[in-house]
């Protein structure tokens, strides 16, 4: 769905559902986006064209500790000032700073809502996705998922980088 800012008189509402699609977050990480929905409105305001919306999306992520796939629901508010030379704005509106609103470039005075929503999904992704807060991760020895199994691997006491110092301490009988 494309909104032409030159056609906006007063307020224009929208409700767009899209998906499925796969998002790319680097060479080894793919994010499933089975469905997303953005609802809201664009209106002429004192700062230019203002977009206010609610974005909800179902995401298929991989846990950064145990690598297991899991589903997460994203729900976020979106407030943007649409910046377009065609819409009468040559740059960020007067008085708009980082605290007021984020500016979004609308080339040619047109806003493609699906692209805007996908960008907002990327911006809302967690830096380190976790399947749960107390995820125990993978065993460094056998690679087993510690959330599912109790492996019999021997665990070193303390940090393995200090092993040479522990051996030195043992040889010299220091206490």
Tell me what the pLDDT averaged over the chain comes to: 85
Nearest-angstrom CA–CA distance, 133 and 111: 37
22-79 pLDDT, tens digit each: 988 877 788 899 999 999 999 988 878 999 999 999 999 999 999 999 999 999 999 9
Cβ distance 40 to 55 under 8 Å?
no
Query: Which pLDDT score is estimated for 174?
Result: 61
Cβ distance 100 to 92 under 8 Å?
no
pTM: 0.74
Q: Where are the domains of the chain?
A: 2-124, 137-175
> 141 CB contacts (<8 Å, ≥6 apart)?
151, 153, 154
Query: Which pLDDT score is estimated for 90?
Result: 47
């Amino acid at each position: 769905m494309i909104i032409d800012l030159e056609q906006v008189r007063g307020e224009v509402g929208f409700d767009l559902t899209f998906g499925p699609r796969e998002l790319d977050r680097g060479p080894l990480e793919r994010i499933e986006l089975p469905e997303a929905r953005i609802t809201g409105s664009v209106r002429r305001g004192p700062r230019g064209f203002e977009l206010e919306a609610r974005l909800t999306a179902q995401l298929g992520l991989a846990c950064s500790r145990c690598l297991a796939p899991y589903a997460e629901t994203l729900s976020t508010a979106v407030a943007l000032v649409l910046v377009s030379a065609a819409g009468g704005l040559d740059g960020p509106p007067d008085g708009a700073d980082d605290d007021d609103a984020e500016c979004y470039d609308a080339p040619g005075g047109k806003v493609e809502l699906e692209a805007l929503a996908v960008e907002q999904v990327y911006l809302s992704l967690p830096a380190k996705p976790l399947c749960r807060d107390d995820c125990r991760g993978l065993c460094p020895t056998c690679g087993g998922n510690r959330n599912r199994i109790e492996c019999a691997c021997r665990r070193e006491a303390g940090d393995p980088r200090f092993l040479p110092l522990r051996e030195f301490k043992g040889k010299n009988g220091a206490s």
